[in-house]
Amino acid sequence: MGLPLDQFTAPARVPAPDATIPVLDLGPWLADEPGALQPLAATLGAACRDIGFHFIVNHGVPQATVDRLFAEIARFHALPLERKLEIKVDANVVGYLPMEYGITGLSRPNLDESFFVRSELPPDDPDRLAGKPLRVANKWPRDLPGFREGALDYFEARESLAHRLLPVYATALGIPQHFFDAAFARGSQTLRLAHYSPSPVRDDQFGSAPHTDGGFMTLLAQAKVPGLEVCSPTVGWIEAPVIDGAFLVNSGDLLAWWTNDRFLSTPHRVINRSGTDRYSIPFFFNPDLDAQIECIPSCVDAQHPARYVPTTYLEYYQRTKFKYADDSKRNNTPERTPAN
C-alpha cells in the first residue's frame, strides 16, 4: 500500500478530455441546501469506483489563500540550497527534501524537491510530549517572513474542507454520515509544497515516478503548468487537465483498504514537459494515530470477504510508509518518496 510500482506498465499516454475525470460541485452541499448530499455522494462514489480521481469546484477555499501559498513556495524553493538543508526532512517527514533525493521504485531519482508540514502542535501537546511518531514540531526556514503563516492558513483551510467531505464519503458507502468523524477528530495530515524541474525525454526519468498515495485522500492544488498523469483503468495514462479554481482529489491506499478495494487507489505520475518550473500543493488527509481501521461492513459480503486484517492507522503507517534516500544511498539504492 502506497508503494512504487516497480513492474507497472500501462498503455501509452493519451490526451484526456475534461470529462474523463469527473467534476463535483460542492457549492450546494457546503451551503447546506436540502437534498444536496445524496446526488453529490452518488457522483463521488462513482468517481472513486471508476477512476479514483475527481475535481471539486465551489469548495470554499479562497483563491487568495491558494495564490499566496504558490507565491510562498516559489520564494522558498528559490532559497540557496544550504539554507534549505538547514531544515532537511527527517524520519517524521517534516522539513525539506532535496532535489533528486526521492526515488520511486526502479526509476532514476525524481526531479522534484519538497517541503513537508504536519499539524502545528503546541509544545505542551500530550502526543508531542509522549514522543509519538508524526506528532512533532514543524521545521520552518529562517528569515522568510510570511512563509509559515501562508502555509498554516492553507493547511487549516484544507483540513476544514476535508472534514466537510467525510459525510459525503460515508454516504457514498452506504454508512451513517458521521461514521468517519471519530477517526479524524485528531488526524495526521501532511502538506507538501512541491517543485518540479523540467523533465528530460527518457523513459525512466520522472518528476514523480508512477505510484499510489498511501493515505485516505489527497487534495491537490496545481499551478497553471500541467504535468500530472493518471492511469485510467480503461485507457491507460491520461493527462489531468488544469481547471482554474478547482482542486483535484484522489483516493489513497488506506481508503482502498477501508473499503475492501471498492474505492480505487489509482497510479499516477508527474512528467514536467513544459520546459519551465512546476509547483503543486498536495494535502494528505489521514486519520488519528489510534484510529481503528477495518473493512467497512457495507463493503463486505459473501462474494467480497474482507481482504485486510483490522489495524490502527499508526500500525498501517509504519508498515507502508514511504522512505527518503539518505546521502549514502540516494545514488545506488531505490527508495520510496515520502508522500504522506
Residues 79-106 have pLDDT tens digits of: 999 999 999 999 899 999 998 665 555 5
pLDDT at position 63: 96
pLDDT at position 334: 29
Burial tier of 276 (Cβ tally within 10 Å: 0-12, 13-18, 19+): exposed
| Residue keyed to cell 508512477 | 210
Say which amino acid occupies 295: C
The pTM of the full predicted model, rounded to 2 decimals, is 0.88
Burial tier of 131 (Cβ tally within 10 Å: 0-12, 13-18, 19+): exposed
Q: Which string of b and e fits 159-186 if b means at least 16 CB within 10 Å?
A: bebbeebbbbbbbbbeeeeebbeebbee
Using one digit for the tens of pLDDT, what is the confidence trace for 148-163?
999 999 999 999 999 9
Say which amino acid occupies 145: P
pLDDT at position 105: 54
Domain locations in the chain?
A: 18-320
Using one digit for the tens of pLDDT, what is the confidence trace for 298-336?
999 999 999 999 999 999 998 876 544 333 333 322 233
pLDDT at position 337: 35
Q: Which residues contact 198 (CB under 8 A, 6 or more apart)?
A: 111, 272, 273, 274, 275, 276, 277
CA 144/CA 86 separation, integer angstroms: 13
Of 108, 68, 113, nearest to 95 by C-alpha is 113
pLDDT at position 318: 86
Say which amino acid occupies 329: K
CA 248/CA 1 separation, integer angstroms: 21
Query: For all residues of the chain together, what is the average pLDDT?
Result: 86
Q: Which residues of the chain have pLDDT under 50?
A: 1-19, 323-340
| Residue keyed to cell 471508476 | 50
Helix (H, G, I), strand (E, B) or coil at 60: coil
E strands of the chain, at which residues? 23-25, 53-57, 95-97, 112-118, 190-196, 208-211, 217-222, 228-232, 236-239, 247-251, 268-270, 278-285, 292-293, 311-312
Q: Residue 16 CA to chain centroid, in angstroms?
A: 21
pLDDT at position 322: 53
pLDDT at position 209: 81
Of 60, 59, 54, nearest to 249 by C-alpha is 54
Please name the helix (run of DSSP H) or strand (run of DSSP E) that holds residue 214, with its range, or none: none
Q: Which three cell numbers stand for residue 52?
A: 479514483
pLDDT at position 71: 96
Q: What is the pairing mode between strands 23-25 and 53-57?
A: parallel
Quick one: CATH architecture of 18-320? Answer: Sandwich (2.60)
